[in-house]
Each structure stands twice: as structure tokens, then as C-alpha cells.
Chains A and B, each alone.
Chain A
């Protein structure tokens, strides 16, 4: 009996040692609750030592990674320094709001906005009657103005004046055409699409109903993912519990927005910039992603799970800095706890 126990302890210790030596940064310890063979002072001590070692490594690496990924407020300010926001009267309201914010990053943003502007009429020729934002003393096509501005990022906000004219698919086609024209003149700019926002409950007319706006925003998301463009949800932060534009954010009983709404815009665009800069965004620039794959899954390295024999399992993983989840397996007879050192969240799961 003693010989059997000694043999068992040596095998266990050997496996633990192998695990720690082969992967010092990550250790997944699986401790069996089968008391007959699995519990002994020596084995427990070895497991505790390796756990402590991995904990220290985990903490150090997590700290290091946190330092790397933390985005400063100055970096976020700078993100918008070379940006232009393009859109309709709602964007015009945001322009007016931003221009009043002296000594703020908002004051650095450039705008090309006009009342009743749309992707539909943005494609029209410039003439006396056309609606095109003025820039440098002249009415111009959007893509011409953008090419003169020397900006890095273009944020587009359209749809409100399009859905009743061109429908959902038609508006998407024209949206893509507008972006194509912009990229032709300014190939290096980043494209960021801002979702449509909702109307006040019951105020929508024709196709300008909130359920249709939701559909349109899904199409915009798909378009962004397919083309590696950014996508910013501005609808949800301004919505009430019913999915309509919240009353406090509406200035005219219809679609136009109040100062309180633009306060939300200011926060939302900063959160968006942070997500773009630290890589947590679902819509990374220049990286087209399919419907079935999230950015996190695409950036994770392959997870290898090997089932150990009988009472023990060893989970081995070498996560990338941006991974956030690791798969694990456990039998009903065993408890396990695992920690991972990388990513933005730490998971601790215990099953019995």
C-alpha cells in the first residue's frame, strides 16, 4: 500500500514538474477530490507551490499587460484631432454643440454637415439648388472637401433623409457608393459609420419607424464588418426602455436632439475611440470579419485541450494578449480551478 502510494505520488509530482517547467507562465491545476490516491501532504504541497508560482506570474503579467493596453485621455483626444464628421441636420446640431466647447477635443473636430443632407443627395452634382456642405467658401462634393482637409478619419451619419427616398437596400448601396468616392480621392482615410438614431415614440413617418431603423442599423453593421470599416452605435445610448429616442434627448418632438443628447455623443465617441485604440472593438479598421467569427475569436491562438488519463486533466493554453476566454473541461468527480494570465478579464470557475 505504501509502495503504491509512493509510486502514485512520484508520478503526480513528476507530471506537475513537467507542466511547470514546460509552461511557466500559465498553469492549470486540476486537483482530484478522490481521496484514496490523490490526496497526500506531498502532492498537496507541490500543487500549492506551483499554484503560488503561477499566481505571482499571473499578477505580474496582468499588471504588465494592463499598462500596455491602458489608453490615456490624451490619446483619445488626439484620435479626433484629424477627424471629420459628416452628416445631416442631427450632425449639424452636434457640430454646433462641439463648436461651443472651447478647450475641448470636440473643438478640434471638423464637420461637413447640412440640414436635409443624405447619401442620396450627396451623390448629386453641385449646382445652385443642391444641398452640399460649404467648405472654404464653396459648395463642394463631400469627397472633394475631405481631400482638402487632410484628415485621417471620416465619421459618417446618414439615413434619416434617405430611408423614405431610397429604402433600406437602396440607401446602403448609395452609402457604399459615397464611401467608394471618398476612398478614391482619399485612399488612406479610415471609414467609421455611426448608426442611425431613433425617432421619438410614434413620431416616425413612412419608413422612418424605429423598427425599420433597427433593421437598417443591422445592415450598416454588416456593411462595416464586410469592408473593415468602423461602426459606432449611437442609437442604444440615446434610447429609452422601449427602443425609441428618449424624451430627454429629443429637442423637437421628432428626431432632432438636445444638448443632453450631445453630451451622450461626446462620451460615446470617446468610448468608441478607446475601443478602437485598445483593440476591444468588434469593428477593427481594415479587418473585414465574417458573421460567424468575432474579433476575439479570430485573434486568439489555438487552444489545445488534452484530456489526461483517469483522474487528472491538464489544460494547456498559450493565450495571446487580447484573448479573453479559455475553454476547459472537468469531470463531475473533480474540482478544478484555473487562471489565465492574459486578456482583459480573469475567469475563475469551480465545478463539482
Chain B
């Protein structure tokens, strides 16, 4: 009888210890979840970098060739871009007609607009390809390496001999 009682007590003790361990471990998991959530919140905050700031960083990091930022009327009138669908944008082209350099970054208000904006930027690529192909071969090569990119609500196009550096700045800023 005594042995049975001892065994019962030992079993009960073991059970209590197990429960205590689980109980002890629960608070630790909650704490790690909280810290993960904090990191994610900070990361979300990092994603919200304004396009104007992205462009500013680009101009400080890379030498652009006579860049000029075109206004809403221009991009709407000629490229058919619906500016009301944009949350923010920058549409920069070289002022020099012999340079194809272009940096366009757009953030759509709605992801449904991304496809249409992408088509508009593809038109920019095609236009510059056709202009430069039998005219300025070096510029044509630069245009030929470019392509329209999208991520979430962002659409961008970089035509530049410094395209790699510029694209990295954009991607780091929006992801």
C-alpha cells in the first residue's frame, strides 16, 4: 500500500511538474510573438517611403543626364496615364533629346490599376526603342536592356546606363 501511494504521489508530482513547465513556457512564446510583431510593424513602416524621397536618393547616388520631372498634364496628355489612379509618382526624363534616360516610379491607389499603368510605361519603352534603333545605337542598347517592373501597387521603369544601381535603390525602398 505504501509503495502504491508513493507511486501515486510521484506520478502526481510528475504531472504537476509537466503542467508547470508548459505554463512556464507559455509566457516565453508570447514574448517572442510580440517581438516578431514589433519587427514586422517596423518593417511595414519602412515600406512607406515616399516616392519623392526615393527619387531624391537616386539623384544623390547617381549622376543623371539633365533630368526633368514632367507634370500631370504632360503624362496624361501624351502617355494617357490616368493621374487620378495614382497615389504618388515621379516621371523623370532627360531634357536632352539625344538621351533616352528615363526614371518613372508610380504607386497606384488600387492594385487593379497596376496593369494599365504597366501598359503605359511599356509604351514609353517601345517609343524610345523605335526612336533610337537606327538613330543612336548606344542609346538603343540602353533602352533594350530596360523593362517595366511591378510589385504590389508599385510600377516602375528605369532606362539608364546606371539602371542597376537605380533599380536597387527602388527595390530596397519599397520592399
Contact = CB atoms under 8 A, between A and B. Distances in A.
A116 B80 contact: no
B74 A139 contact: no
Contact of B135 (A116, A129, A138, A251): A116
Contacts of A130: 130
Given A114-B127, A134-B123, A135-B78, A92 B135 contact: no
A130 B131 CA distance: 9
A333 interface: no
A196 interface: no
B79 interface: yes
Q: How large is the interface on B (under 10, 10 to 19, 20 to 34, 35 or more residues)?
A: 20 to 34
B126 A115 contact: no
Contacts of A322: none
Contacts of A117: 131
A206 interface: no
Interface string A126-142: 00111100111111000
Contacts of B98: 89, 115, 251-252, 256
Given A96-B68, A137-B123, A115 B96 contact: no
Given A134-B79, A137-B123, A115 B68 contact: no
Q: How large is the interface on A (under 10, 10 to 19, 20 to 34, 35 or more residues)?
A: 20 to 34
A100 B68 contact: yes
Interface string B122-135: 01001100111111
Contacts of A137: 78-81, 120, 123
Nearest to A96: B95
Contact of B74 (A92, A99, A136, A138): A99
A74 B147 CA distance: 45
B70 interface: yes
Contacts of A138: 80, 123
A99 B131 contact: no
Nearest to B126: A128
A90 interface: yes
Contacts of B6: none
Interface string A72-100: 00000000000000000110110011011
Contacts of B70: 99
Contacts of A89: 97-98, 131, 135
Contacts of A134: 78-79, 123, 127
Contacts of A136: 77-78, 80
Nearest to A111: B78
B80 A256 contact: no
Contacts of B78: 134-137
28 contacts: A89-B97, A89-B131, A89-B135, A92-B97, A93-B95, A93-B96, A96-B68, A96-B96, A96-B97, A97-B95, A99-B71, A115-B97, A115-B98, A115-B136, A116-B132, A116-B135, A117-B131, A128-B126, A129-B130, A129-B133, A130-B130, A134-B78, A134-B127, A135-B77, A135-B78, A136-B77, A136-B80, A256-B98
Interface of B: 68, 70-71, 74, 77-81, 93, 95-98, 120, 123, 126-127, 130-136
